[in-house]
Structure 1
Amino acid sequence: MGLNAVIFGLGSHEAGWRMPESNALASTDLDYWIDTARRAENGGFDALFLGDVLALQQSADRHLSDAMDPVVILSALASVTSRIGLIGTASTSFDHPFHLARRFASLDHISKGRAGWNIVTSSNPLEAYNFGLDAMPNHAERYARAADVTEAVIALWESWQTDARIADKQSGRYLDLAKVQPINHDGPFVRSRGPLNVPRSPQCRPILAQAGASEAGRDFAARYADMVFTVQSDLADAQAFYKDMKARADRHGRAPESLLIYPGIVPIAAPTRQQAEDRLAQMNSFMVIEHVLAKLSEFLGADLSQADLDAPLPDGVGANATQSQSSQSRVAVLVNIARREGLSLRQLLMRLASGRGHMLAVGTGDDIAHTMQLWFESGAADGFNVMAPVMPADLKSFVDLVIPALVAKALFAVDHRSTLRLRLGLCEALSLAGSF
C-alpha cells in the first residue's frame, strides 16, 4: 500500500487554521514545511504532495488562501530530506511545456530522483483573470491543451539520452550531441523546438500524477499518468472507478498495474473513537457556514444562499456546473453524497468543510487502518493520499496511530529504494525510448 501526505496549507479542513493548536501564519514559514516534510519522511510516507491554485480565493477574508509556489517549497525540502518523494502541482493551462519540463527535471536532479508533477488543467475563472483571460476555456479544450502540453513535456524530458554527458576532461568533449536531439513539437496549442537544457532525469522522468475524474479526465489519466488522485467516499463507487481506470490503461496499451489509483482519505485518529468524534466536532464548530455555502454554490453552479439549510439539496442543483466550468468530477461526488446519504444542506456543508468530498475516516488508529485495508484488498485503491485536516497535529496522529496499525497488518512497510519511481514499482513500465 502506498501513502502520500497531501498538504493543503495548514490542513484540509476549511476551519483548520482556527484550531487552538494551529499556527495560523505558518503556511509561509519554511520551518513549518521542513518540519512537515521530516515528519512525513520519518513516518514512512512515500511522497509529499502539494496542491496549488493560481489566484486568491473567494472569501479570502475568512479562509486561509495564500499559496506559495509548490516547486519552490519542494526544492527547499529536497535539501533537508533524503527519501520522500516530492510531488508538486502545475497547470497546463497557464504554463509553457519548456518551463514545466525544465522546472520538474531540475527538481528531480536536486532531489536525486524524487520529483513528481501533478498535472492540473485549472477550472477557476479567478485564475484565468490573473493571466489576462476573460474566462477559462471550456472543459474539452482544457483537456485537449493538457494532452498537447504533456506530450511536449515528456518529449523534452526524453530529448536527452541517459549517457549524453561524456565530461571527458582529456579530450575536452563534454556532451555527445548525437544523443541530445530537438523534439520539434508542433501541436494544436503549443510549439517547442527543444531539446531541453537539463540532462535526463535520474528516474528516467518525474512521476506524473493527475486528478480528473470526468470522462475526459479519466481518459487523459489512463494515457499519461502514473498515479491518479481520486475523490471517492463510497466503496462501491471507488471499486467501479478503479476497475474503469485499469481497463482504460489497458486499452491505451499500458499494463494496468502501471497506473496507480490513490483515493483521498481525511483521517481523524485518536486513542478512542469518542475522542476522534469530539475532535471532528471541534473542527466543525469553527466553520463559517456562509463561507462554505458560497464555496458549494461555486462548485455546483447554483446560488444556495437562500436555500433551507435543514432541507435536502434542492432538485436540479449541479445541472449548471458544466456551463460554469466547475470541476465536473467534484460536482458529481458532492451531489452523489447528498443524494445517496440523504443529507441536509447543512450536513453536506459539514462534509465539504471536513473532507472536501473525500472519504472521512474518524476513529482509532485500528479503525482507520481497517477501513484502508478493506479498500486496498477489495480493488478500490493501490494506495491513499492522506489529507490531514489540521496540520501538523493530524499528520502526527496518523503517523503515531494509523501507520503502526498498517504495519502490524503487513499492509505497509518503509521502502528505501533510491528513486520515487522505483519505490512505486513503476520503472519496468517505463521505456527509455518513451511510452507514448
Structure 2
Amino acid sequence: MTRRQLHLNAFLMSTGHHEASWRLPESDPYASVDLAHYRDLARIAERGTFDSLFLADGPVLFNHVGQRPSGVLEPLTLLTALAVATEHIGLIATASTSYNSPYNLARRFASLDHISGGRAGWNIVTTAGADAARNFGLDDEPAHATRYERAAEFLDVARKLWDSWEDDVVVADKAVGVWGDERKIHPPRHRGTHFSVEGALNVPRGPQGYPLLVQAGSSQDGRHFAARHAEAVFTAQQTLGDAQRFYADLKARAAAEGRDPDHLKILPGIVPLIGATEAEARAHERVLDEHIVPEHGLQHLERLLRLEPGTLRLDAQLPADLPPESAIEGAKSRYTLIVELARRERLTVRELIGRLGGGRGHLTFAGTPEQVADAIEKWFGLGAADGFNIMPALLPSGLALFVDHVVPILRARGLYRTEYGPRGTLRDRYGLPRPVNPYTVPSLTHA
C-alpha cells in the first residue's frame, strides 16, 4: 500500500505574510507588482516540488496604503506569465463569484489551463465587505446566504460552459474541410435565479476538464459549499483540536453528499518562522513584530470586528459585548477564530494585533526546521490535515528556508515526494480524477 503523502501549497503575498515584512532591510517594497519577484518565488516553490502556488485577490483595495504594500496584480494575468516560467507547479487564482460573470471567468480559467498544460486552479470566494460591493454599484454587501446561493449557481454555470465542448470536438480533417464536429458542442441555455447564459464557451475544454476547485470559507454556509463542490480547502485553525474537528466535520459532510472524502483535500495555513535554533527563530519573530505599527493594526481589527473607530484600547482586552457570529455577514469564520483566540488566551488588543500580524489568524510557528517538520507531521498524522498552505512571513527568504531545510526532512521521513515524476496536471498532483463530460457518458438502456 502506498504511504499517504503530504500536499504543499505556497501562498504567495508580495514581501511576505507578516504585515511588517516590507519594512525589513532585505525587502523590496515594490515587489507586489514585480513579475520577476513572483517568477523567482514560483521557481523556488517548484524546486521544493510543491503541488501548487496560490494568489489571494479581491476587487477592492484591502489595506490602507500607509500600512503595507497594497497594490496587487490581477492573479489570472500574473499566473499566465508564471505558467511559461515554470513546468510542473499548479497555479491557483482567487476569483469572486459575487463580482464576475460565469462566461468570462470560465473562459479565462480554461485559457489558463490550456496555456499551462493543465495546471490551473480556482479559489472560489464570495467576497465579503461593503467596500467591494460599492465598487460594483451596490450600497452594501449581499447577505451571506445569498452570496453562497449565487456561488453555487455560478459554479453550476461554469461547469456547463467547460462541458459545452466534448473532448473530441476537433477532427481537423483537412481533406474534407471539417475542423470540428458541431454535434459535440452543447450550449448551456441556462436560465436561473442569478444568471442567464445561452451559448457554448468559445474555448475548448481544458486538459483537466475543470480547474482544481478550491474554497476557503469555514462558516456553516462555507462548509456546506465545500462539501458539495470543493476539491481542496484552505482553512485557518489555531489548535490541533480545532483542526481535527474541522477535518472530521468536512470529510463527513463530503461523504454525506455522496463524494469520496479523499477527493476533498484540507490544507490549514501555517506561517513558519525558521531558525537554526528555536531562540533564533523567536528572535526573528520578535524583529518582525517590533516593526508593526500598532495604530494600523488597531484600525484593521476594528474594521474586521465591525466596531466603530476608537472602540478598542491597545492595552485592554476585547469588549465583552461583541456581536455573535450570526450577526456578521462577511468573513464569519475568521471573525469567530479571532475572538476565540483573544478570549482563550486572554490577550490584550496589543497582543492580539501582534498575533494577527504574522498570518491574520493562521497558525504561526517559530522553530527549527525539525520542529516545523514535527508540527506538520503531527497534524498530518493525527487527522487534522491532508497538507498545508505554506505562508512565509518574509519573502523570498522564508520560502527558500522552508524549501531548503524543512522539505528535505519531510522527504527523509517518507511524507513528501522527492521529484515531480512524469509531467502531469494539477489534478494528478492532488490525486483527483479528471471530471467526465456528461455528454460523453453512454446512456443506459434497459431491456
Q: CA deviation at 1:58?
A: 4.2
Deviations 1:61-116 (A, max 9, x none): 22211111000000000011000000001000000000110000000000000000
Measure how far apart 1:306 and its partner are: 4.5
Please show how residues 191-340 of structure 1 align to structure 2 within 5 Å.
191-303=196-308, 305-319=310-324, 323=327, 325-340=329-344
Which whole-Å deviations, capped at 9, do the CAs of 1:138-189 have from their partners, x for residues lacking one? 1111111111101100111111111111111121111111111011111110
Asked if 1 retains the 8 angstrom alpha-carbon contact of 2:298 and 2:312, the reply is: no
SS in 1 for 2:186: coil
C-alpha spacing 1:372/1:304, structure 2 compared with 1 (3 Å): farther
Cα distance in structure 2, aligned partners of 1:137 and 1:309: 32
Q: 1:276 to 1:161 in 2, by over 3 A?
A: same
In structure 1, what is the Cα distance between the partners aligned to 2:203 and 2:156? 17
Aligned to 1:153: 158
- Which one-letter code corresponds to 2:165 in the other structure? W
Q: Does 1:391 align with 2:395?
A: yes
Please point out which of 412, 420, 424 is paired with 2:430.
424
- Could you say if the C-alpha distance between residues 322 and 296 of structure 1 is closer, same or farther in structure 2, counting changes exceeding 3 Å? farther
Contact 2:52 2:91 in 1 (8 A): yes
Structure 2: stretches of 5+ with no match in the other structure: 1-5, 440-447
Report if aligned partners of 1:276, 1:362 keep a CA contact under 8 Å in 2. yes
Specify the alignment match of 2:406 in structure 1: 402
Q: For each residue in 1:12-57, what CA deviation from the matched residue of structure 2 results, as whole angstroms up to 9, or x when unmatched?
A: 1111111111011111111111111111111211101000021123
Report the Cα offset of residue 324 of structure 1: 5.4
Deviation at 1:344, TM superposition (A): 2.0
* Cα distance between partner residues in 2 of 1:425 and 1:180: 29
When normalised by structure 1's length, the TM-score is 0.96
Give the secondary-structure state (helix, strand or coil) at the position aligned to 2:358: helix
1:370 maps to 374
RMSD: 1.4
Q: CA deviation at 1:238?
A: 0.5
For 1:324 and 1:304, the matched residues in 2 are separated by: 17
- Residue 214 (structure 1) shift: 0.6
Matched, 1:110 2:115: yes
1:138 aligns with 2:139: no
Matched position secondary structure for 1:355: coil
Matched to 1:314, the amino acid is: P
1:190 to partner: Cα distance? 1.0
> Any conservation in 1 of the 2:94–2:124 contact (CA below 8 Å)?
yes
Quick one: structure 1 residues 318 and 403, their matched pair in 2 at CA, closer, same or farther if it must change by over 3 Å? farther
Question: 2:18, 2:233 → 1: CA distance?
Answer: 22
Tell me which residue corresponds to 1:43.
48
The CA distance in 2 between the partners of 1:154 and 1:355, in whole Å, is 33
On the 8 A contact 1:375/1:381 being kept in 2, the answer is yes
Q: CA deviation at 1:328?
A: 0.1
Change (3 A) 1:301 1:226: same
Structure 2 partner of 1:352: 356
Match status 1:75 vs 2:97: no
Is the contact made by 2:302 and 2:312 (CA closer than 8 Å) also made in structure 1? no
Q: Is the 8 A contact 2:302 2:311 kept in 1?
A: no
Report if the CA contact (8 A) 1:49-1:87 is conserved. yes
Task: Tell whether the 8 Å contact from 1:318 to 1:335 is kept in structure 2 after alignment.
Answer: no
One-letter amino acid matched to 2:133: A
- The Cα of 1:303 is off from its aligned counterpart by 3.4
Task: Tell me, yes or no, if the aligned pair for 1:86 and 1:115 is still in contact at 8 Å.
Answer: yes
* Letter matched to residue 383 of structure 1: G
State whether structure 2 residue 415 is matched by structure 1 residue 411.
yes
Residue 323 (structure 1) shift:
4.6
Residue type of the alignment partner of 1:256? P
Q: SS of 1:216's equivalent?
A: helix
Where in structure 2 are the equivalents of 1:156-175 lying within 5 Å?
156-175=161-180
CA drift at 1:124? 2.0
Distance 1:248 1:394 in 2: 35
AA of the residue aligned to 1:422: D
Shift of 1:316: 2.3
1:14 aligns with 2:15: no
1:172-213: per-residue Cα shift (whole Å, max 9, x none)? 111111111011111110111131111111012110100011
> Is the contact between residue 300 and residue 326 of structure 1 (CA under 8 Å) also seen in structure 2?
no
**What do the CA deviations read for 1:354-379 (whole angstroms, capped 9, x no partner)?**
12111111101110000000000111
C-alpha separation in 2, matches of 1:237 and 1:99: 38
Asked whether the 8 Å contact 1:12–1:388 carries over to 2, the reply is yes
- Equivalent pair of 1:364/1:401 in contact (CA under 8 Å): no
Cα distance in 1 for partners of 2:32, 2:326 equals 33
SS in 2 for 1:360: strand
Structure 1 contact 12–354 (Cα < 8 Å) conserved: yes
Aligned mate of 1:33, from 34, 38, 53? 38
* Greater Cα offset, 59-68 or 226-235: 59-68
TM-score, with length taken from structure 2: 0.94
Deviation per CA, 1:279-307: give whole Å up to 9, x if none: 11011111111111111111111237353
Give me the identity figure in percent. 46
